[in-house]
Amino acid sequence: MSETPREVMMKILIDININKAYSNIQLNKYLKNIEDTRDKNFVREIVYGILENRIYIDHIISKASKIKLKKIHPNILEILRIGVYQISFMDKIPESAAVNESVNLAKKYGHKGTVGYVNGVLRAIARKKDVYMSINTNNKIEYISIKYSHPQDMVKKWVDDFGIEFTERLCQANNKRPPFNIRVNTLKISRANLQEALYKKGIKSKEGRYSKDSLIIQNPRDMINMEEYKNGLFTIQDESSSLVAQIMNPLGNSKVIDLCSAPGGKSTHMAQLMNNKGYILSRDIHKHKIDLIKQAAARLGIDIIDAAIGDALKNDNKLINTFDYCLLDAPCSGTGVIRRKPEIRWSRNDEDIKALSKIQYKILINASQYLKLGGVLLYSTCSIEKEENILLVKKFLKEHSNFEFVSIAEAIRNKEGLDTLKEGYLQLYPHIHGTDGFFIAKMIKKDR
């Protein structure tokens, strides 16, 4: 007997919440066994919905349950979360169906007592939804934490860094679906011509707000199976990420190193801007990720990328003073992409950020040594944390007087909302710019 969509949801959520798996990987793993597109969308919607609203859902359950959350068996807790999400956050599912399907799951994964328990809790919540969904607290940090399901420590840190209003809007944006962006491969087609080709197939799009090569797809469907994708006319990349190569703007026939390059989006974009002339050394520490870079380059018709295993934390003496450009898209906390990977919010804390900033700084020092005099160093992260971004770069510039900021304002046509440009760097936020949270700083190596 095949598994029901709700059973698949439960297994995915167990893998994510208990086994610390990544949501996108688990969804891809399980959804390939589901043929019906509506069932796939249903599973995806509820899994992401629960990950985005987990604290709020648990708040509701804890008010209706006589058993404390930590004493509820993981399978039964996920079954309750699936039921509560449908009852409290979805209009299209009848409450009776949400309850009955959860009870059926409890019969399979619990015992007689848990069946009655699941039935009782969900029916109580369905009868007095407004009462159970209420958040009764005068503590604004606690309110934001529950309402938008971000850990209190994370909310408090952001409030300290950015203020209450900013933090609430950010948390709210993190629970919204991100836009689906593609980057046009201008080696093969112009943005306007690709837009027209997609429109003829019923795919509507609009130009990116900041990136010259981005399109925002308004009704995406099965994009990686389109002929245009297979033929290398575009790749999938958020607008913020595609600004990295645009701001770097490497000249053709240059030598470039990309230290943490997988899966290759920024390397291939730089190659595109170089008109596929020159040399790019794209490194990553994992063999399977090197294969992803090679596959991406081949599909896009790029042959100047040399993808090779390399540990960015280890200084490579033979590369010193060799390159015209160096990109360090550093390993980071990922707090700028929570809306794409909602489970990030459960696995990041202050200690992680401090540890990451030490790693980032060590790699940045290595990166700086690989450049020729006059070479360009670009540092980027998909984080919004100051410790990983501007504070780290300012520390680097203070301790390395032979580097200085390069103005990046001219690289971006539309400067609306980009207040940090006047300070020499770019920091993007989901709730302000509609992109992933991203940091970009460009520096040049000069005589001391």
**Residue 329 bridge partners (DSSP):** 380
Give the SS3 label for residue 99: helix
Q: Please answer whether residues 46 and 27 qualify as being in contact, where contact means their C-beta atoms are separated by less than 8 angstroms.
A: no
CA angle 7, 13, 17 (to 5 degrees): 150
Write out the H or E segment, with its range, that includes residue 69: none
Q: How do strand 254-258 and strand 438-445 relate by DSSP bridges? A: unpaired
**DSSP label at residue 228:** H
Q: In whole angstroms, what is the distance from residue 4 CA to residue 10 CA?
A: 10
Q: Over the range 294-325, which residues count as b (16 or more CB within 10 Å of their CB) and which as e?
A: eebbebbbbebbebeebebeeebeebeebbbb
Structure tokens given for 218: 């308004």
260 classed as catalytic: no
Q: Which two tokens stand for residue 120?
A: 């009782």
29-48: burial string, b at 16+ Cβ within 10 Å, e else:
ebbeebeeeeebebbbbbbb
**Would you call the peptide bond into 263 cis, given omega within 30 degrees of 0 as the criterion?**
yes
Q: Which helix (H) or strand (E) holds 370?
A: none
- The two tokens of residue 255 are 């030598």
Distance CA 226, CA 224 (A): 6
Q: State the DSSP code for 336.
A: G
Nearest to 248 by CA among 367, 360, 417: 367
Q: Which residue in 171, 260, 332, 382 is the catalytic one?
A: 382
What is the rounded CA–CA span in Å between residue 283 and residue 288? 12
How many residues comprise the chain?
Answer: 448
Q: What is each CA distance from 295 to 72, 230, 305, 308, 375, in whole angstroms? A: 45, 11, 11, 13, 29
Catalytic positions are: 382
